[in-house]
Structure 1
Amino acid sequence: MRWLRAMLGGDGEIPRVFVVVALVDSIGTGMFLAGSTIFFVRSVGLTPAQVGLGLAVAGAVGFVSAVPIGALADRLGSRQVLVAVQLWRAASQVGLAFAAGPLAFTVLASCLAVADGAASGLTQSVVSDAVGPQRRVPTMAAMRALRNVGFGVGALATAPLLAAGTEWTYRSVMLGDALSFVVAAVLLSRVRTSRPRPDGRPRQSPLRALASVRDHRYLALAGLNGVLCLHMTVLAVLIPLWTIESTAAPAAVVPFAVVVNTVLAVVLQVRFSQAARGVSGGARALRWSGVAMAGACLLIAVTGRTNVWLSVCVLAVGVLLLTFGELWQSAGGWELSYAFADQETLSTHLAVFNLGTTAQSILGPALLAPTVLSGDGVGWLALSVVFVVVATLVAPTVTALTRALPEPVPLAAHRSPS
């Protein structure tokens, strides 16, 4: 396990509990992603259209509920609410395992989405409360690296269950995910947090805390980060469809691209987070992310005009650039979301910042698939321009946020100690 200690920081600076939580949680999620759709169609008896509609409704519910839950965490405590959210996820998964019909599926999927939509921001908040400003981004990077390992392990564990093809083996996929949430909740309940709260100052109500997030600059930064999160849609939806419909490359390239992306995320995420320390580092990482993803789109655009081997090689380089963009986006987004959030309403601000990520997962496939994939690579060129524009807007947005601080200081002065 030396490689793991080296990746996470061999001196014990990354709290082990967060790494274990990330691994356990993601194994369950990997099982769900690999087997849930098959379960819903073959065991619950839903049509693909019913599954798609139910998940779309659930995504919208998760989007609108994330910020109120973040505000509630600022009042009750981020750790306590995250533990409750994990248990809620477990209960929702158990319900889905025994769902019958499209209405029950949609209701239970929406219940799950309420928790899923809030979990990311709450996790960021708990990490910050537990490890402090100097270690929160490296901790998030370590967790993300292990989550990629967990996704793969969970997907592999699901294969024999799906191969068996019985109702209970399908159902065990859902129950396995539920169990992972319970284990994560137990582990998180033991985490010690220490967010300071001035004596005698009353806690804000959730609605008042929600109203406090009205800085248009912070919202703009969240939006820019959300656009950069489109790397998820590009890898999961656009590249597979483009490869099989518009290039001479074989379909086998698609899983290979996913494997390359996953392995690089495991190995390099912590290292890339080191380049995003401080406000200046975070802004630089987001700019690099936009440029890298623009380059990936430009390369992918030309694969429709090349032979088999050249298409494969160019796609490989494009996926490499896309992965680099993903790693820089994650690190830069964590750093800047923390840096400009009001510490008294940290969970609320982080929930708002994560709305961009949630929005792209809901709107990205629907908006990009028909536009980017139409034409002869023109859509990819347009998407590359979008990423370049976002990269260009990061610096002035961060500068405006810095100047709006109560005591404006140079960007470099915000750098976290090594």
Structure 2
Amino acid sequence: MTPAWAERVPGLRPSPVRPVYLATLVANIGSGAWYTCLAIFAVRSVGLSPSQFGIGVTVAGIVGLLAGSPLGYLADRTGAREMLIGISLAQSAAALGYLLAGGFWSFLLVACCAVAGERAAPGIRIAVISGLTRDKERLSAISTTVVVAHIGAALGSALGALVLWADNRAGYLALVLLSSASFFGFALIVRGVPHVETLREKQIKRSVLVLRDKPFLIVTALSAVLALNWGMMGSGVPLWITQHTSAPAWTMGLLTTLNAVAIVSFQNRASRGGTSVAGAARLAVWCATALAVSCLLFAATFHGSGAWVIVLLLAAACAQVVGELLYVASAWGLSVGLAPPDAHGEYQGAFGTGPAAALMFAPALMTGLVVDGGVAGWFVLAGLFLLGGLPTVPVSRWALRSRPDPAPSGGPIPDLKEEQTS
């Protein structure tokens, strides 16, 4: 019997998707540790030049971008759980493949396999959750998975930092083995998740739907613009602090810690407003507003120094993390709410290309806008966020009108149409 206090904690409640939380934690510990050290391993152990590493990662990112939707469609036909297990086993093998890479082409092959799995797995994981949950429980499960992923990545990054401190080949090899073992462990744990009924079992024959769903594709593109907030904190803000302010370097560590604590503490709460498409669309507007305010506050730190600039940076980071919380809630609410009940794998795979593209292009965009453009670049970025968020409400209404039928499985769509007209 589950204790009463555990019933109030989403990740501890009895649920068919509870093993997914543990599996996500395990996988993200391994991947978080590995990606902390990947660049140094590629240069020192594989023998790549920094430019070769950059080209290899970019090409792998493009391959991963293209793989998400086809693998998602295949998951709908053959089984989302089974596809997720297969992808995690492939990722485990790809991690070991880094040990065999002896030059650029072998590294590129391994990286393409690893990144394709990395890009496809989150969407298929959401398809598994969507197939086993309904309504508010669905979004709560998704947001809990996001929180668990952050915790795992943080723990893994700490392990990676220790290996970087030791800086020896034995440590890097140990991380490769840890990464491989974590994906293998993910596959073993997910075997305990119930099977999600497939299109074949439902005797449904259809072609690809998402490529004909114009409003959903536009929602995906708008969400991709908002996903640039991840790149803003990952590359734009650190470079801004070091090149355009006199704030100490440790300030970025403070902002990163603030972000991680806020995501873990408030993501489930923030996701409550995204349980309908109408609500998720409104969250996108508020997300864009918060991110635009964050950009203006970061711009105000230009050539700043002393305690005042640290206060402004903290205020900007608070606005950014509010935007990030709302972005995650909005993105999953829209992608799940607008997906036909028998096409979650296909739709989540397609939707995942938006954040993947944003993460791939963000470093170059942030360098051009924020580092080279200075204050004006922050204003342009604020405008981009508003352009990504404000149209979401009318486009989501268009998407709802274009749905052929409400979800027969008790999903969110009937309530969404009611809310839209109220």
TM-score > 0.5, shorter chain as reference:
yes
Match of 1:120 in 2: 122
Letter of the aligned partner of 2:109 in structure 1?
V
Aligned equivalents of 1:4 and 1:141: distance in 2? 17
In 2, the alpha carbon distance for the partners of 1:8 and 1:199 equals 31
Shift of 1:323: 0.7
Counterpart code for 1:369: T
Deviations for 1:1-52, whole angstroms, at most 9, x for unmatched residues? 9998755366545843121012111101111122222211222222211111
* Superposition deviation, residue 133 in structure 1: 3.6
Equivalent pair of 1:90/1:182 in contact (CA under 8 Å): yes
Ranges in structure 1 where 5+ consecutive residues have no aligned partner:
none
Write the deviation string for residues 42-87 of structure 1: whole angstroms up to 9, x where unpaired: 2222221111111011001111111111111111111111100000
Give the corresponding residue for 2:299: 301
| 1:381-392 equivalent positions in 2, closer than 5 A | 381-392=379-390
Residues 1:306 and 1:163: Cα distance change in structure 2 (over 3 Å): closer
Does the aligned pair in 1 maintain the 2:226–2:288 contact within 8 Å? yes
Pairing partner for 2:69 from 67, 70, 73: 67
Q: Deviations over 1:347-367 (max 9, x none)?
A: 111111111111111112122
Query: Post-superposition shift, 1:376?
Result: 3.5
Shift of 1:165: 3.1
2:411 corresponds to: none
Separation in structure 1 between the aligned mates of residue 399 and residue 205 of structure 2, nearest angstrom: 25
Partner of 2:418: 413
Q: Does structure 2 retain, via aligned residues, the 8 Å contact 1:7–1:267?
A: no
The 8 Å contact of residues 221 and 398 in structure 1, kept in 2 or not, is answered as yes
Counterpart of 2:151? 149
- SS in structure 2 opposite 1:371? helix
Per the normalisation by structure 1, the TM-score is 0.92
Decide whether aligned partners of structure 1 residues 197 and 3 sit closer, same or farther in structure 2, where only a CA change above 3 A counts.
same
**Does structure 2 retain, via aligned residues, the 8 Å contact 1:7–1:270?**
no
Aligned pair 1:174/2:176, yes or no? yes
Alpha-carbon distance in 1 for matches of 2:200, 2:248: 61
In structure 2, distance between residues paired with 1:414 and 1:193: 32
Contact 2:240 2:370 in 1 (8 A): no
Give the AA of the match of 2:178: G
Q: What residue number does 1:246 align with?
A: 244
Q: Specify whether residues 57 and 198 from structure 1 end up closer, same or farther in structure 2 by C-alpha distance, changes over 3 A only.
A: closer
Residue 137 of structure 1: which of 139, 147, 152 is its match? 139
Given candidates 398, 408, 411, the residue that maps to 2:396 is 398
Q: Secondary structure at the residue paired with 1:116?
A: helix
- The structural deviation recorded for 1:332 is 1.0
Q: Matches of 1:94 and 1:410 in 2, distance apart?
A: 47
Map of 1:96-111 to 2, 5 A cutoff? Answer: 96-111=98-113
Moved more, 220-229 or 185-194: 185-194
What's the secondary structure of 1:185's corresponding residue?
helix
Q: 1:240 to 1:75 in 2, by over 3 A?
A: same
What letter matches 2:274 in structure 1? A
Distance 1:61 1:194, change over 3 A: closer
* Structure 2 residue corresponding to 1:94, chosen from 93, 96, 114: 96
Residue aligning to 2:410: none
Question: Residues 59 and 362 of structure 1 are in contact (CA less than 8 Å); yes or no, is this contact kept in structure 2?
Answer: yes
Query: What 5-or-longer segments of structure 2 have no aligned partner?
Result: 407-413
Structure 2 letter corresponding to 1:401: A
Equivalent residue, structure 2, for 1:364: 362
> In structure 2, what is the equivalent of residue 282 of structure 1?
280
Whole-Å separation in 2 of the counterparts to 1:157 and 1:364: 26
C-alpha deviation, 1:154, in angstroms: 1.0
| In 1: Cα distance, 2:153 partner to 2:333 partner | 24
CA deviation string 1:183-232 (max 9, x = no partner): 0011112210344759773444xxx32x5531111000001111111111
The residue that corresponds to 1:220 in the other structure is: 218
* CA distance in 1 between partners of 2:375 and 2:365 (Å): 16
Partners of 1:88 and 1:115 within 8 A in 2: yes
How far apart, CA to CA, are the structure 2 residues paired with 1:202 and 1:56?
A: 37
Task: Name the aligned partner's letter for residue 170 of structure 1.
Answer: Y
Instruction: Report matched runs for 1:339-358 at 5 Å.
Output: 339-358=337-356
Structure 2 distance, partners of 1:178, 1:237, is: 27
Quick one: which of 17, 38, 46 aligns to 2:48?
A: 46
Is residue 128–residue 196 contact of structure 2 (8 Å, CA) maintained in 1?
no
Residue aligning to 1:311: 309
Deviation at 1:134, TM superposition (A): 3.6
Structure 1 residues 3 and 291: alpha-carbon distance in aligned structure 2, compared to 1, 3 A threshold: farther
In structure 2, the CA distance between the partners of 1:378 and 1:2, relative to structure 1 (3 Å rule), is farther
Between stretches 220-229 and 269-278, larger displacement belongs to 269-278
- Taking a change above 3 Å as real, the CA distance of residues 289 and 307 of structure 1, as seen in their structure-2 partners, is same
Inter-partner Cα distance in structure 1 for 2:231 and 2:136: 31
Task: Compute the TM-score of the two structures, normalised by the length of structure 2.
Answer: 0.91
CA contact (8 A) 1:14 1:138 kept: no
- How much does 1:380 deviate? 0.2
Partner of 1:43: helix, strand, or coil? Answer: helix
Give the aligned partner of residue 332 of structure 1.
Answer: 330
Report the equivalent of 1:83: 85
C-alpha spacing 1:413/1:10, structure 2 compared with 1 (3 Å): farther
- C-alpha distance in 2, partners of 1:324/1:131? 27
Number of the residue aligned with 1:31: 33
- For the residue of structure 2 that corresponds to 1:304, the secondary structure is coil
Q: Distance in 1 between matches of 2:352 and 2:306?
A: 39
Question: What CA distance in whole angstroms lies between the structure 2 residues aligned with 1:288 and 1:190?
Answer: 38
Identity among equivalent pairs (%): 28
Following TM superposition, by how much is the alpha carbon of 1:322 offset from its aligned partner in structure 2, in angstroms? Answer: 0.7
Alignment partners' CA distance in 1, 2:172 and 2:293? 41
Q: How many residues align?
A: 411
Paired with 1:75 and 1:269, the residues of 2 have a C-alpha distance of 32
Please give the residue correspondences for 1:12-27 in structure 2 after superposition, counting only pairs within 5 Å. 12=14, 15-27=17-29
In 2: Cα distance, 1:194 partner to 1:368 partner: 40
Whole-Å separation in 2 of the counterparts to 1:227 and 1:52:
23
Partner secondary structure for residue 22 of structure 1 = helix
